[in-house]
């Protein structure tokens, strides 16, 4: 595995993942407000997030990136179209069912680490499972802790950890329940580039080595280059997609959009 080139691993992941969809939006529309204050945040978005794939979502501020993530993750209602996690259609689920689905099948990572200051790293990692009354699978937990490089830090409280380490705790917390899919909204937005690179490396490892599925919103072409593909949003629509992105190609594409935006 370690001798395989990154592109080789990516190809393998994609081949086995084509049939299996971890989450899907179909003609998804989200409208906020009414009348004059109405905002069409998503305008007929259709996208698949395949299993064991790392997808980055990019686009200008206000293009609907967070909204797409929230709607597909069942954190926000949709106006029309459909969203599903695995085989489960979100529309029509009762609140309780939705809460259970989020708890059991989805991992979240946000820009703010959202750790509880009174709990140590390990307690933070297992908190969602403790709340759900689920017993952590110890072997999986060990793997996760090792993957994110926190083995020597489990007894530390958040204030005793660097920003990067805190975000790694948040990544481990999202992974601990072995979710079907993880959603990360600008997970490196509060980190310096070195800590950011660490966290992105761990997200990528969780896909490559643990077979997890990650969807990440980012503004940063370098962060996007860790993904297997990039989906570009503008004005609530998907306007482009890129496979095997590099930071340079992503940057070029973004400049292209800027130029088009100015001339149209
Ligand atoms: N709760 C809300 N009520 C009303 N409008 C909203 C709400 N949430 C988002 N919007 C609007 O929907 C559009 C998309 O917002 P969204 O937060 O998805 O953008 P984004 O691409 O994540 O932007 P950013 O990069 O700044 O985080 C914006 O015009 C925003 O003002
Ligand atoms: Mg956002």
Taking the C-alpha atoms of residue 130 and residue 207, their distance in angstroms, rounded to an integer, is 25
DSSP state, 127?
H
The alpha-helical segments, DSSP class H, found in 116-246 are 121-132, 138-147, 163-176, 193-208, 221-224
CA of residue 163 to ligand 2 center, whole Å: 20
Q: What is the pTM of this model?
A: 0.88
Show the ligand 1 pocket: residues with CB < 6 angstroms: 32-33, 39, 41, 59, 61-67
Q: pLDDT of 219-244, one tens digit each? A: 999 999 999 999 999 999 999 999 99
Domains and CATH numbers, the chain: 20-263 (3.40.50.300)
Dihedral of the alpha carbons of 212, 216, 221, 222, in degrees to the nearest 10: -40
Average pLDDT of the segment spanning 166-179: 91
Q: pLDDT of 104-139, one tens digit each? A: 899 999 888 899 999 999 999 999 889 888 888 999
> In ligand 1, which atom is closest to the CA atom of 64?
18
Among 25, 36, 38, 63, say which to mutate for ligand 1: greatest number of ligand atoms within 8 Å of CB.
63
Taking the C-alpha atoms of residue 34 and residue 26, their distance in angstroms, rounded to an integer, is 23
Q: Which of 5-14, 15-24, 61-70 has the lowest mean pLDDT?
A: 5-14
Residue 12 pLDDT level (bands cut at 50, 70, 90): very low
CA of residue 215 to ligand 1 center, whole Å: 18
Residue 5 pLDDT level (bands cut at 50, 70, 90): very low
């Amino acid at each position: 595995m370690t001798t395989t080139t990154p592109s080789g691993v990516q190809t393998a992941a994609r081949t086995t993942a084509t049939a299996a969809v971890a989450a899907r939006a179909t003609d998804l529309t989200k409208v906020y407000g009414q009348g004059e204050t109405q905002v069409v945040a998503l305008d007929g978005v259709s996208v698949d997030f395949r299993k064991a794939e790392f997808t980055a979502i990019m686009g200008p501020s206000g293009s609907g990136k967070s909204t797409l993530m929230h709607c597909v993750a069942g954190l926000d209602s949709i106006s029309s179209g459909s969203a599903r996690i695995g085989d489960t259609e979100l529309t029509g689920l009762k609140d309780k069912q939705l809460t259970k689905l989020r708890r059991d099948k989805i991992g979240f990572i946000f820009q703010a680490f959202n750790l509880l200051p009174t709990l140590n790293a390990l307690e933070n990692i297992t908190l969602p499972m403790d709340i759900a009354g689920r017993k952590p699978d110890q072997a999986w937990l060990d793997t996760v802790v090792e993957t994110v490089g926190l083995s020597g830090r489990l007894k530390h409280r958040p204030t005793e950890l660097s920003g990067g380490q805190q975000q790694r705790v948040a990544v481990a917390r999202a992974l601990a329940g072995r979710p079907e899919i993880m959603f990360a909204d600008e997970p490196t937005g509060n980190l310096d580039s070195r800590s950011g690179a660490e966290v992105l490396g761990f997200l990528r490892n969780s896909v490559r080595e643990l077979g997890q599925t990650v969807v990440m919103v980012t503004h940063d072409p370098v962060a996007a280059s860790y993904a297997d593909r990039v989906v570009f949003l503008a004005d609530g629509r998907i306007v482009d997609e890129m496979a095997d992105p590099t930071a340079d190609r992503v940057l070029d594409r973004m400049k292209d959009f800027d130029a088009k935006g100015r001339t149209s």
